[in-house]
């Protein structure tokens, strides 16, 4: 089973969304967690509302730092914000394949209607990408480069859905 760690700076919105959606669409085929380099300590309420509205479990979701996942040893680290993509990851993540899925942050919008629209847009993109990821037999790839290329290909495939 592949282990995926979703990263963003504050681990309060996008990485939490990715963790919950990945669990939901993979039906246990992926082991997923999320973390931040500078965790906020609380999950953004709009994130939890969006997930609940979509019928996606919010059980166990919390804002935490990446150091809390050192023993997790992810196979894949997916950054979902541009700041996290530019940060130097801890040494223990060195063996993980790193992929960047830059996505806008709904929690940054003050207007509720615009925020809801952004949650819908980001949620749809994540659901498409993560469904494809969960359906792709990535554990069959024995070479890191081939696995990285297959994951990057998912981004191209997702755009055509």
Q: Per-residue pLDDT tens for 35-46?
A: 998 899 999 999
Count of structural domains, the chain: 1
- pLDDT at res. 151: 76
Angle at 71 between CA 65 and CA 72, to 5 degrees: 80
* Average pLDDT over every residue of 1-10: 89
Q: Per-residue pLDDT tens for 77-128?
A: 888 876 655 556 555 566 788 888 888 999 999 998 999 999 999 999 999 8
- pLDDT at res. 49: 95
- pLDDT at res. 99: 83
Neighbours of 27 (CB within 10 A): 8
Neighbours of 61 (CB within 10 A): 20
Residue 144: CATH number of its domain: 3.40.50.2300
- pLDDT at res. 84: 53
**Owning domain of residue 82:** 2-159
pLDDT at residue 70 greater than cutoff 70 = yes
pTM exceeding 0.85: yes
Please write down the long-range contacts of 25-28, taking CB distance under 8 Å and 24 or more positions apart: 25/127, 25/130, 25/131, 25/134, 26/130, 26/133, 26/134, 27/134
């Amino acid at each position: 089973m592949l282990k995926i760690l979703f990263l963003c700076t504050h681990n309060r919105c996008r990485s939490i969304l990715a963790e919950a959606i990945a669990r939901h669409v993979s039906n246990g085929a992926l082991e997923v967690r999320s973390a931040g380099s500078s965790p906020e300590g609380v999950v953004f309420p709009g994130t939890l509302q969006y997930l609940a509205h979509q019928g996606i479990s919010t059980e166990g979701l919390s804002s935490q730092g990446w150091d809390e996942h050192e023993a997790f040893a992810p196979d894949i680290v997916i950054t979902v914000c541009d700041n996290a993509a530019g940060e130097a990851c801890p040494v223990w993540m060195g063996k993980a394949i790193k992929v960047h899925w830059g996505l806008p942050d709904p929690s940054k919008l003050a207007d509720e209607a615009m925020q809801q629209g952004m949650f819908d847009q980001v949620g749809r993109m994540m659901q498409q990408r993560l469904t494809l990821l969960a359906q792709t037999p990535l554990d069959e790839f024995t070479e890191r480069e081939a696995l990285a290329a297959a994951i990057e290909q998912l981004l191209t495939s997702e755009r055509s859905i």
